[in-house]
């Protein structure tokens, strides 16, 4: 397995270079170095000389990917792409175009994101599996029918509506929890309660229905019938056998969302004023801060690659017949 992991990690290098190149190309297709400089210098009284000075000071005076005026290796190294992107492979995110240490900012902002996303993720997982098993238990009955209708109803409503409605109902009308805000330390639970519950409920429809389908596929198989024939209770059949055997697709869908836990949620963080990473990349795009954009895209790619690898590894745990080679 170790060989497999090492091989997969080596595969990730060309993927990361590709991601970097694509990010670079898209960013500079939309924004020229002059645009970046003007965005940072503001809109009033900006002179062409000031733009040139800013570019010089921030390394944007160089050619984008190929320096014709240089010689040898410098033709490649004396470029914006090399200067801005190469250090990422050493996990040195460098400084943002406004001068901040990006690594420090990411470390500071990832904790609020995790504080909201981990309980939402774990709570959602438990609730969705339980609700899906509940529907499977009552399969073919009116309870199952109305539960599916309930899921479709939730799926049809935008998450934004849930957020605004919950803020109105529990924050404004019932005045039980803060509408938005965040504090550090243990007191933060009061601020996380509403977004976490909303996140779980808003995500219930689609996921529960999907899990229900997975469980229904298993529930009529021979081994389940055998278990029932042995006199097992329905709860034990569902949790002990059906659930275990439906775990592979659940794991596939679950582990790949782990990067999103880290990268945060834009809607929840914006509406509940959670100072997480969700808005970091968006704000950087709006401010045309390439240093942050490329760092966040790189980080997202790395975490995604690791999460996919982790998915493969968890398969061996969920199903001992699977061997990684």
Partner 1 sequence: MCSVIIIGLLAGCGDRPWNYPYGFDLPEKNLFFGSFSERPKHLDPAVSYSASEVVFTGQIYEPPLQYHYLKRPYELETLTAEVLPQPIWYDSAGDLLDSHASPDQVMKSVYRIKIKPGIYYQPHPALAKDSSGNFLYHQLTDDELKDIYAIADFEVTGSRELVAADYVHQIKRLAHPKLHSPILGLMSAYIEGLAELSEELNTKHEQGEQIDLTQIQLSGVRELDRYTYEITIKGKYPQFAYWLAMPFFAPMPPEADRFYDQPGLTEKNVSLDWYPIGTGPFMLVENNPNRRMVMVRNPNYRTDDFYPAEGLPEDKENGLLQDAGKPMPFIEQAIYSREVEAIPTWNKFLQGYYDTSGVSSESFDQVVQFGSTGDAVLTEEIQQKGIRLVTSVAATSFYTGFNMLDPVIGGYSEEAKKLRRAVSIAMDYEEYISIFRNGRGIPSHGPIPPGIFGYLPERLGINSFVYRWQHGEAVRQPVAEAKRLLAEAGYPGGRSRKTGEPLILYFDVTATGPDAKAWLDWLRKQFQKIDIQLVTRTTDYNRFQDKMRKGTAQIFQWGWNADYPDPENFLFLLYGPNGKAQYQGENAANYANAQFDRLFEQMRYMDNSPERQQIINEMVAIVREDAPWVWGFHPTDFGLYHQWYQNAKPNLMANNTLKYKRIDAELRTQLQAEWNRPKIWPVILVVLLILSAVFAVVWIYRQREHRRIEL
Judged by CB under 8 A, how many residues of this single chain contact partner 1?
A: 66
Of residues 88 and 255, the one with the C-beta less far from partner 1: 88
Task: Tell which positions 221-260 bind partner 1, by CB under 8 A.
Answer: 233-235
Write down the least CB distance from residue 64 to partner 1, Å: 16
Identity of the residue, 4 or 134, whose beta carbon is nearer to partner 1 in the bound complex: 134
- Among left, alpha and beta (phi > 0; psi -120 to 50; other), residue 288 is left
Residues 6+ apart with CB under 8 A from 188: 115, 182
By the rule CB under 8 A, 316 interacts with partner 1: no
Shortest CB 118 distance to partner 1, Å: 18
What are the DSSP calls for 178-226, one per residue?
-SS---SSGGGHHHHHHHHHHHHHHHHHHHHHHHHHHHHHHHTSHHHHH
Q: Hey, how many other C-beta atoms are within 10 angstroms of the C-beta on 207?
A: 23
Burial classification of residue 75, based on how many CB atoms lie within 10 Å of its CB (0-12 exposed, 13-18 middle, 19 or more buried): middle
Q: Report in angstroms how near the CB of residue 221 gets to partner 1 at its nearest.
A: 21
Nearer to partner 1, 216 or 273 (CB): 273
Give least dist CB 314 to partner 1, A: 29
Which range touches partner 1 (CB under 8 A), out of 64-72, 96-104, 150-158, 257-265? Answer: 96-104
Residue in the block written with tokens 């900012």: 105
- Give the number of other CB atoms < 10 A from CB of residue 316: 13
Residues 39-68 interacting with partner 1 (rule: CB under 8 A)? 40-42, 44-50, 53-54, 56-57
Residue from 92, 217, 283, 319 touching partner 1 (CB under 8 A): that is 283
User: What is the smallest separation between the CB atom of 103 and partner 1, expressed in angstroms?
Assistant: 10
| Token representation of residue 317 | 């745990």
Which alpha helices (H) appear in 233-289, and where do they start and end?
234-236, 243-245, 247-255, 258-263, 266-271, 280-286
Backbone angles phi and psi of 68, in degrees to 5: -70, -30
Binding site for partner 1 (CB under 8 A): 30-32, 35, 38, 40-42, 44-50, 53-54, 56-57, 98-101, 104-105, 108-109, 112, 134, 137-138, 143, 164, 167-168, 171-183, 185, 187, 189-191, 193, 233-235, 269-273, 275, 279, 283, 287
């Amino acid at each position: 397995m170790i060989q497999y992991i090492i091989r997969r990690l080596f595969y990730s290098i060309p993927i990361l270079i590709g991601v970097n190149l694509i990010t670079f190309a898209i960013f500079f297709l939309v924004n020229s170095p002059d645009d970046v400089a003007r965005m940072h210098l503001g809109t009033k009284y900006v002179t062409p000389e000031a733009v040139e000075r800013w570019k010089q000071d921030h390394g944007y005076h160089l050619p984008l990917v190929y320096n014709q005026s240089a010689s040898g290796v410098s033709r490649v190294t004396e470029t914006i792409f090399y200067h801005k992107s190469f250090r990422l492979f050493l996990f040195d995110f460098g400084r943002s175009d406004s001068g901040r240490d990006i690594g420090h900012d990411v470390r500071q902002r990832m904790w609020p994101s995790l504080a909201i996303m981990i309980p939402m993720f774990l709570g959602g997982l438990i609730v969705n599996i339980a609700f899906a098993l509940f529907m499977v238990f009552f399969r073919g009955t009116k309870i199952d029918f109305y539960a599916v209708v309930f899921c479709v109803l939730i799926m049809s409503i935008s998450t934004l509506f849930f957020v605004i409605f919950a803020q109105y109902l529990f924050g404004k009308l019932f005045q039980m929890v803060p509408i938005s805000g965040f504090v550090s330390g243990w007191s933060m639970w009061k601020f996380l309660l509403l977004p976490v519950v909303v996140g779980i409920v808003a995500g219930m429809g689609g996921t529960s229905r999907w899990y229900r389908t997975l469980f229904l596929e298993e529930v009529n198989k021979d081994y389940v019938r055998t278990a029932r024939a042995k006199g097992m209770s329905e709860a034990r059949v569902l949790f002990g056998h059906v659930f275990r055997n439906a775990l592979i697709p659940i794991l596939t869908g679950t582990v790949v969302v782990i990067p999103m836990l880290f990268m945060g949620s834009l809607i929840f963080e914006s509406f509940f004023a959670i100072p997480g990473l969700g808005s970091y990349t968006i704000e950087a795009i709006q401010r045309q801060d390439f240093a942050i954009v490329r760092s966040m895209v790189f980080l997202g790619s790395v975490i995604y690659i690791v999460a996919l690898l982790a998915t493969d590894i968890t398969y061996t745990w969920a199903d001992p017949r699977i061997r990684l080679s």
